[in-house]
Chain A
Amino acid sequence: MSAPEIVFDNVSKFYGEVLGVNRVDLHIPPGITSLVGPNGSGKTTLMNLMTGLIHPNAGVIQVRGISPYAPEKLMRILGYATQYDAGPRGATGYEFVHTGLVLFGFPKAECERRAWQAIERVGLTAAAKRKVAGYSKGMRQRIRLAQAIAHDPEVLILDEPLNGLDPLVRAETIALFRDYAAGGRHVILSSHVLQEVDVFSDQVILIANGMIVAEGQIKSVREEIHEHPSQFLLHCRDASRVASLLFAEPHISEIKLAPEGAGLLVLTRNREAFAAALERIALSGIDIDGVIPTDENVDALYEYLIGGGK
């Protein structure tokens, strides 16, 4: 039974004099984890380190208890869909997936069954006998995903897996990630599409300039950022009165009228005190129809943490 976490212990990686990642400490639990950061921030470096495609200059990495220096063990539990097409030149989609399985030592019939199953799972059955070279960008993404999941790995790593997918396929692919992660497996992906990551990730790792800026569930990460006020949208009929009552609270830093009379945008430095104040206002007979946190998403976190690098 392998340990269920992916651990980076003080890991640094340099490409010559160029920093890849610096002193990374991570404990990634099972579920969907998104690596978010601008180009060159170190997302792919982290993924390549996890999979042993590159080696750290310092520190130790364990993927469910297995060192990336032991590919014969690691690759049995790990599937990695990179950004690059790889496989026999001139291969069809089916051959692309099947060839990867041959090296796992499955019997011939089992290789065929798994290859077809994985291809069906990404919705490419009809195109499986066509050459990968003739695939569209989205189809290539999906065939790489099929290859990564064909041996049913415990850890699935995907570099920009949603690039080039149309909305329908994107939704299906996200559903596949959720389904995959539901069984206690790791799904780790990188993406520039922050809204999507926000919606389906169990946790995020924000990375900039090779350093981890924040990690954890989006909500808990947000709560750790004390220096930035939390933002809420209050839906209420008597906005001016609610605003005057809230201004009396010391933790409130700013109140704005929301556009088109939708209510109030309130910035507070103390979420508990803000909740208590709202309770008092409600008990005094003023109707508050709804309270929506407006910055518990990755965009907002990113804006706060690394200065609008999305």
Chain B
Amino acid sequence: MTPYQQIWTIARLELGRVFFSKRSFWVYILAIFPSIIFLGHALEAGLKKRNWSADRVTSAATLNQVQTGMTDDQVLALAGKPISDVTRKRRIRRDDEDPDAEKQPEVRRYVMYFDGKKRVDLRFEDGKLVARNTHELMNFEDDRRVYATMFQFFYLRLGIFFGCLGIFINLFRGEMLDRSLHFWFLAPVKREVLLLGKYLAGLIAASLIFGTGALLSFLAMALPHDPTEVAAFWQTIGPGHAFWYVAAAGLGCVGYGSVFLAAGLLLRNPILPAIVMLIWESINGFLPDVMQKLSVLHYLQSLCPVPVPLPNDMPAVLKMLLAPAAPSSIPVAVLGLLAVTALVLFAAMQSVKRLEINYGTE
């Protein structure tokens, strides 16, 4: 039996335990959470559309004729019954010492129309239209940016991070707690081979769980939109975006998996490596270039196809924390991540050779 066959055999034997471990059941919740959010968003938009369409749809051409300065009676006469109409009167308090109080309108009226795709919000003050805003019920462009934000800030930083913590740290530490690690140590395999077999099992499970989660949430984000728009997206950049999100999720498992596997060999308490790693990944933007290359998140963010939109007025410190300081090219990001992983796995191999079974005193 070659070492490669042994690695595969160990991974095969471990897979069931990794997939169905009670300790890491919550990993599935992390993986499907974004899909649930986007499905919920699509469901909410669909319900709103159905309700508003049933209530009243005003043509876009009619709504385009509505101009600021028109009175509420004129607008209602032109556009007909709105889907929502709320009036608020200003409260006048005797002890009101606000010098500007007299300048504020007595009555505010908020009226909403729906043209079948967009919602038009109109704001009247003392009977005159002063503001008009249009919102698309489902905006593909916006949703893709929301997805990018969710993917980088939740999925990579928290979902995959803590998911890998749950899966990989238990590969050795969990077996020590279950008093079953000696089963592997008594097999005729090198410890390094055992480590790689277990890592492969964790990697297959984590990649499948989080890769599928990324793809499902991407589909949940994209599919509820206008079919023409979605078809055009899939014929152009869509497959590339889906691929890189799934690849970033998979490579996230590669990187974080190696780190937490090594941590499981060295430390008893999984909270410590999680906190240290989380801090390291968070402050990475402040570190010199060389140090940034030792971060998993740095490479993963470089792989994401859509940059996260950060508001211009965001404080510089916060911007530095949230955005990669100098994104690497895709080949550099992939190779860099694999190099970091190889380095960590090499250190883990040295550690596992010295690892001892010590469930307690005899």
- A84 engages B179 (CB within 8 Å): yes
Q: Is A87 located at the chain interface by the 8 A CB criterion?
A: yes
Q: Is A240 located at the chain interface by the 8 A CB criterion?
A: no
Q: Is A51 located at the chain interface by the 8 A CB criterion?
A: yes
Q: Please report the C-alpha to C-alpha distance between residue A165 and residue B287 in the assembled complex, in whole angstroms.
A: 63
- B357 engages A102 (CB within 8 Å): no
A103 proximity list for chain B (CB < 8 A): 6, 9-10, 13, 187-189
- A71 engages B357 (CB within 8 Å): no
Q: Please report the C-alpha to C-alpha distance between residue A73 and residue B191 in the assembled complex, in whole angstroms.
A: 12
- A99 engages B13 (CB within 8 Å): yes
- A32-81 interface (Cβ within 8 A of B): 39-40, 42-45, 48, 51-55, 69, 71-76, 78-80
Q: Please report the C-alpha to C-alpha distance between residue A82 and residue B185 in the assembled complex, in whole angstroms.
A: 12
Pick from B187, B193, B356: contact of A54, CB under 8 Å: B356
A84 proximity list for chain B (CB < 8 A): 179-180, 182, 359
Q: Tell me which of A43, A71, A79, A100 has the highest count of chain B C-beta atoms within 10 A of its own C-beta.
A: A71
Q: Is B361 located at the chain interface by the 8 A CB criterion?
A: yes
Q: Contacts A71-B187, A105-B5 given: A88-B17 contact, CB under 8 Å?
A: yes
Min CB gap B358→A, angstroms: 7
Pick from B10, B179, B362: contact of A86, CB under 8 Å: B179
Q: Is B190 located at the chain interface by the 8 A CB criterion?
A: yes
Q: Please report the C-alpha to C-alpha distance between residue A72 and residue B190 in the assembled complex, in whole angstroms.
A: 5
Q: Is B186 located at the chain interface by the 8 A CB criterion?
A: yes
Q: How large is the interface on B (under 10, 10 to 19, 20 to 34, 35 or more residues)?
A: 20 to 34
Q: Is B1 located at the chain interface by the 8 A CB criterion?
A: yes
A15 proximity list for chain B (CB < 8 A): 358, 361
Q: Is A85 located at the chain interface by the 8 A CB criterion?
A: yes
- B37-65 interface (Cβ within 8 A of A): none
Q: Please report the C-alpha to C-alpha distance between residue A105 and residue B193 in the assembled complex, in whole angstroms.
A: 14
Q: Is A89 located at the chain interface by the 8 A CB criterion?
A: yes
Q: Mark A104-122, 1 if CB is under 8 A from B, else 0.
A: 1100000000000000000
Pick from A44, A72, A102: contact of B13, CB under 8 Å: A102
- A80 engages B186 (CB within 8 Å): yes
Q: Please report the C-alpha to C-alpha distance between residue A80 and residue B13 in the assembled complex, in whole angstroms.
A: 20
Min CB gap B351→A, angstroms: 13
Q: Contacts A40-B361, A54-B358 given: A76-B180 contact, CB under 8 Å?
A: no
Q: Please report the C-alpha to C-alpha distance between residue A53 and residue B185 in the assembled complex, in whole angstroms.
A: 7
Min CB gap A148→B, angstroms: 9
B358 proximity list for chain A (CB < 8 A): 15, 54
- B169-195 interface (Cβ within 8 A of A): 178-183, 185-191, 193
Q: Contacts A71-B187, A102-B9 given: A53-B362 contact, CB under 8 Å?
A: no
Q: Contacts A53-B356, A105-B1 given: A39-B362 contact, CB under 8 Å?
A: yes
Q: Please report the C-alpha to C-alpha distance between residue A220 and residue B189 in the assembled complex, in whole angstroms.
A: 40
Q: Is B239 located at the chain interface by the 8 A CB criterion?
A: no
Q: Contacts A53-B356, A73-B188, A105-B1 given: A40-B362 contact, CB under 8 Å?
A: yes
Q: Please report the C-alpha to C-alpha distance between residue A54 and residue B357 in the assembled complex, in whole angstroms.
A: 6
**A-B pairs, 3 with minimum CB distance:** A105-B1, A86-B183, A44-B362
Given pairs A52-B185, A71-B186, A79-B186, 14 additional interface contacts (CB within 8 A): A48-B356, A53-B356, A71-B189, A72-B188, A72-B190, A78-B186, A88-B13, A88-B16, A89-B17, A100-B183, A103-B189, A104-B1, A105-B1, A105-B9
30 contacts between A and B (CB under 8 A): A15-B358, A15-B361, A40-B361, A43-B362, A48-B357, A52-B185, A53-B185, A53-B356, A53-B357, A54-B356, A54-B358, A55-B354, A55-B356, A71-B185, A71-B190, A72-B189, A79-B186, A80-B186, A82-B182, A84-B179, A84-B182, A87-B183, A89-B17, A99-B13, A100-B183, A100-B187, A102-B13, A103-B6, A103-B10, A104-B1
